């Protein structure tokens, strides 16, 4: 492997780790900080947070999820091993569990959490700015987003275990 390839792999790995820390950090923020805090906030404060804080946090959240998956896939593709060598490695065995969990989690972000949160943000903004009544479906949107986010929180523990295990726990597969 050339020095250029090694640098590229290093940058892909650093990108994967940085994006993953950002994504999982925000996931834990939403589930362990924001949701409990919103339950205790008065409606006006919660409305302000939904209008001004949540969109920015969700922007970082969804793009960090996508970046984590893309950097991870690019890293695997450029790992410097032959396909046969890689598929028979301990790394692949761990990544073949952790990677799909991460992809499921990213799909939850993009196809369940974000679309429902987008509706909640729009409805909350319309209520605050135009005085329109909250849509009757808003609790359903919130519930779908919450359940997908809680699912991601539960999946994050085995995903992190197997992703770290790819490098640090080869004895899992002995």
Q: Is the pLDDT of residue 40 over 90?
A: yes
- Tens of pLDDT, residue by residue over 92-131, are 899 999 999 999 999 999 999 999 999 999 999 999 999 9
Global model pTM greater than 0.85: yes
**Mean pLDDT in the chain?**
94
Inter-residue contact 102 to 69 (CB < 8 Å): yes
Q: Where are the alpha helices (DSSP H) in the chain?
A: 3-29, 35-40, 43-52, 54-77, 83-87, 90-108, 114-130, 138-168
pLDDT above 90: percentage of residues in the chain = 79
With bands split at pLDDT 50, 70 and 90, how would you rate the model's confidence at 17? very high
Tally of CB atoms within 10 A around 37: 12
Residue 69 has pLDDT above 90, yes or no: yes
For residue 74, the 8-state DSSP code is H
Cα–Cα distance, 123 to 133 (Å, whole number): 8
Q: What is the pLDDT of residue 148?
A: 98
């Amino acid at each position: 492997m050339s020095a250029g390839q090694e640098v590229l792999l290093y940058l892909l790995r650093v990108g994967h780790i940085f994006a993953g820390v950002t994504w999982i950090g925000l996931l834990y923020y939403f589930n362990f900080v924001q949701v409990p805090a919103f339950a205790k906030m008065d409606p006006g404060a919660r409305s302000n947070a939904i209008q001004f804080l949540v969109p920015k946090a969700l922007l970082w959240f969804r793009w960090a999820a996508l970046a984590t998956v893309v950097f991870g896939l690019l890293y695997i593709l450029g790992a410097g091993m032959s396909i046969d060598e890689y598929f028979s490695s301990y790394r692949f065995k761990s990544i073949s569990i952790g990677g799909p969990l991460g992809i499921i989690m990213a799909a939850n972000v993009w196809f369940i959490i974000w679309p429902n949160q987008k509706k909640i943000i729009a409805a909350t903004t319309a209520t605050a700015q135009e005085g329109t009544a909250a849509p009757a479906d808003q609790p359903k949107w919130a519930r779908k987003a919450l359940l997908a986010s809680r699912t991601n929180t539960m999946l994050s523990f085995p995903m992190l275990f197997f992703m770290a295990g790819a490098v640090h726990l080869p004895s899992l597969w002995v």
